[in-house]
Structure 1
Amino acid sequence: MEQQRPFKIPESVLVVIHTPALDVLLLHRADGGNHWQSVTGSKDHLDEAWEATAVREVREETGIDTSGCGVVLTDWCLENIYDIWPQWRHRYAPGVVFNRERVFGLCVPAGTAVVLSPREHVAFEWLPWREAADRCFSASNAEACLLLPRFV
């Protein structure tokens, strides 16, 4: 008998990875469509700290070590509440329709190596922050890219 996955927790992080020159790393989702985004991911358990979630998701999706030399993770102390898209609601407990997202920035040296998780992303690109905002499929992700200069 197939074991079902536990429901996703409707609390996630958005991590805008960028260089000191404000080039932003965008990832192309592997699940179809032309969806470009920053690192995102849900908590593994309710009491997982926001920062721990951000560190884990960055490592899983990009291979970047947040404790590396010249790497600075910053909690922007911003949160977004948004509707979970209907096609993804089956991942959550019945009746869950909203997600709470905490925003972080991660400054990395130019030329930082990126190793994608192929089950999640098929390509990546470094773009100037305004171009990155235009490319993002998520409104909250685009807004975070536009806020980047205020947080560096």
Structure 2
Amino acid sequence: MLHANGMKFGLCMAILVATTACAPKAQLTPSIAGGGPDEFSISPAKALEAPTNFASLPVPTPGGANLTDATPKSDAIVALGGRAPTASGRDGGIVTYASRYGVAPNIRGELSKSDERFLKMKTAKPAFPWTKNKYERAYRRLALDPWAEQARLIALGVLVPSAPPKP
């Protein structure tokens, strides 16, 4: 009787271990992330105060200055531990060069639609659905091998400050 109970317990434990070993990894992928709000669009660094007359408030300008945040981008950089940018205009040349072909005002929406089309085109039902996630299957050919890239850069004489971590 005692031996049979021990066998049942051992069998139950083996089944439990086997089923938990097959559980999917908790991964944060773009398909899980969703289209929620941008975490950095609101940074309450200063106390909010109610105005005396709500009708006199200016029209909201997302990403721009307002009564509470006169310099929202600088305040966000400081809140995240960075240094507030100076108004020297040193990066003006870089910005001008990067935007020489124009700047898309709806780049996030366009990129999201483009990525959705690419995922539909590149992913089919896998034979074994537990092997890779949809996003990884679609972008596998575009992945960069960090060790081969490091060797290539060293061969070109580029100083590489650190090696990529081993998996």
TM-score range (shorter-chain normalised) is under 0.3
TM-score, normalization by structure 1: 0.18
Which structure shows the bigger proportion of residues in strand conformation?
Answer: 1
Which structure shows the bigger proportion of residues in helix conformation?
Answer: 2
Q: Higher Cα Rg: structure 1 or 2?
A: 2
